Structure 1
Amino acid sequence: MTILKDKVAFISGGAEGIGRAVVERFIREGAKVAVLDLNQEKLAQLQARYPDDICSVCGDVTNYSDNHKVVELAVERFGKLDIFVGNAALFDFFAPLSRIAPEKLEASFNKLFQVNVLGYMNGVKAAMDQLKQNHGSIVLTVSNSGFYPGGGGVLYVTSKHAVVGLIKQLAYELAPEIRVNGVSPGATDTEMKSVEGISSKARPLNHIPDFNENAANAVPLKKIASPEDHTALYVLLAANEQSPMTTGTVIHSDGGWIAR
């Protein structure tokens, strides 16, 4: 399949989880990919597996200059940039406001929002000129927590609602040159990590006892998603030929929460 043949994408948080699955799907669809991630070891593994198709920067999405480095590297290595996928995110281990210590609230808020919201803005800002030039597209990872309560704590749920607003505003601001959309995954079998210090019980999501079983039973389709289950929607929204009139839209990939 070559839906993204000759396209170049920048994917943040692309070394593991949903991000890595999107990187690998984009490569199978014919794209070249520039990846930004903090995990040097997993970036190196990805680079070794796809030496001709990937370039990478070990860096922080909250740092604009790291995002800019990825764009410069993509253009240097592959000649242009057509797609930005914002994916890096932190969780809050379901912490309600009542259980966040007052002295930790500001720092926890700042760290989580810097990654989940500012990180996306940095990527868009860094990629914007190239995307305008090439009539490109942006796809941001949301979450069912961007629409419903209970899928996280107060910080995560609020941050993902902010991402929905960001998609709508950017779709308005960047039209007609750039389309902006989102994919909203539900519970997924990944090691998504929480912001440090928010809960003494925090652990990667799929390390929670019975997480997969409970997540599957919570939705009509009765299964928890694998990262790969979401990737076709990123391809659909990234490709101008496949979704030329779609912008400001979020597609749900969550097992049917809306039908619950």
Structure 2
Amino acid sequence: MSLRRLSILVSGGGSGIGRAATLAYLREGATVTVVERSAEHAAALRADAGSLPLTVVEGDATSPEVLASAVRTAGRIDQLTCCVGVFDHYASVRELPVADLVAAAEETWRTNVLGALVAVNAAWPALRDARGSVTLTLSESAFHPVGGGVLYGSSKWALRGVVQHLSVDLAPAVRVNGVAPGGTSGTRFSGLNALGGAESTVERRAGRSERIAAGTLLKTTAAPEDHAGAFVYLADPVAARVVTGVVINTDGGRAPC
């Protein structure tokens, strides 16, 4: 087990890709602390983990207070994985009333970008002491204008920059990398509170899986578990010892237009 005796903190690990990464970490021998807002998702994750060493801190994974509590709960932190995010459901700047645009942009960028930075800030002393690593969850939208609207896409482009700058900021003590998944089934990825879409998920869009597969070189739609190997690799202090400032694209390859 490549992650045996590691202690990993995952923000937003109760569903989708974060959940898949969490379960993969546990199977590889890590002790995992997850921050998860949904009590339903937290309960399901605990059930799936069974007797594996998982602790779930219920609360908003972008809250400094909740994250500080999670850091105290975890104690030693060898690896921080940030998976918190909201989706804009392809909202168009052309169509949004300006008040909705401002509220949606603030929610998107605060959750998707600032939330990761707050998590790193909270975990930094423990990561430094452990000479650990950080993995941020990006998206194919950080490389191509697909997979979301301008608000979501710009937040993921920002995270791409965060990987680069943070890898310098935390060097040489802590490695910083990212995983950029392509379109994925079964994520239960929710929309924006600011647009009244908190209960909607990307899975409700008819024909979504078929459209994702058609846009990839491998002609397949990923499941959350398909991305987990990249997270495990980047968390491994031996296999990825000299890897920092890198984003792994797990998107099936972008098909030419």
Per the TM superposition, whether the score is higher than 0.5 is: yes
TM-aligned CA distance change 1:187 to 1:117, over 3 Å: same
Give 1:197 shift: 4.4
- Residues 31-180 of structure 1: matches in 2 within 5 Å? 31-50=30-49, 51-75=51-75, 80-180=76-176
Q: What is the CA deviation profile of residues 74-125 of structure 1, one whole-angstrom value per residue up to 9, with x for unaligned ones?
A: 11xxxx1100000010000011211221111111111111110111011101
Bigger Cα displacement from structure 2, 25-34 vs 110-119: 110-119
Query: How far, CA to CA, are the matches of 2:234 and 2:172 in structure 1?
Result: 15
TM-aligned CA distance change 1:258 to 1:119, over 3 Å: farther
Give the gaps of 5 or more residues in structure 1: none
Asked whether the equivalents of residues 62 and 119 of structure 2 are also in contact (C-alpha less than 8 Å), the reply is no
Query: How far, CA to CA, are the matches of 2:3 and 2:105 in structure 1?
Result: 37
2:212 pairs with 1:196: no
Query: How far, CA to CA, are the matches of 2:175 and 2:132 in structure 1?
Result: 7
Aligned partner (choices 227, 232, 241) of residue 230 of structure 1: 227
Asked whether the equivalents of residues 61 and 122 of structure 1 are also in contact (C-alpha less than 8 Å), the reply is no
TM-score, reference length from structure 1: 0.94
What residue in structure 1 maps to residue 238 of structure 2?
A: 241
Query: How far, CA to CA, are the matches of 2:31 and 2:62 in structure 1?
Result: 24
TM-score, reference length from structure 2: 0.95
Matched position secondary structure for 2:195: coil
Bigger Cα displacement from structure 2, 40-49 vs 83-92: 40-49
Matched position secondary structure for 1:98: coil
Matched position secondary structure for 1:36: strand
- AA in 2 matched with 1:36: V
Give the gaps of 5 or more residues in structure 2: none
Identity in percent: 35
Asked whether the equivalents of residues 9 and 83 of structure 1 are also in contact (C-alpha less than 8 Å), the reply is yes
Query: How far, CA to CA, are the matches of 1:258 and 1:172 in structure 2?
Result: 33
Matched position secondary structure for 1:24: helix
Residues paired across the two proteins, number: 254
Query: How far, CA to CA, are the matches of 1:52 and 1:250 in structure 2?
Result: 29
After superposing on structure 2, the runs of 4+ consecutive aligned residues of structure 1 that deviate more than 4 Å are: none
Query: How far, CA to CA, are the matches of 2:150 and 2:167 in structure 1?
Result: 26
- AA in 2 matched with 1:37: E
Query: How far, CA to CA, are the matches of 1:226 and 1:70 in structure 2?
Result: 28
Asked whether the equivalents of residues 4 and 29 of structure 1 are also in contact (C-alpha less than 8 Å), the reply is yes
Query: How far, CA to CA, are the matches of 2:184 and 2:87 in structure 1?
Result: 13
Query: How far, CA to CA, are the matches of 1:258 and 1:12 in structure 2?
Result: 32
Give 1:41 shift: 1.6
Give 1:62 shift: 2.2
Give 1:52 shift: 4.6
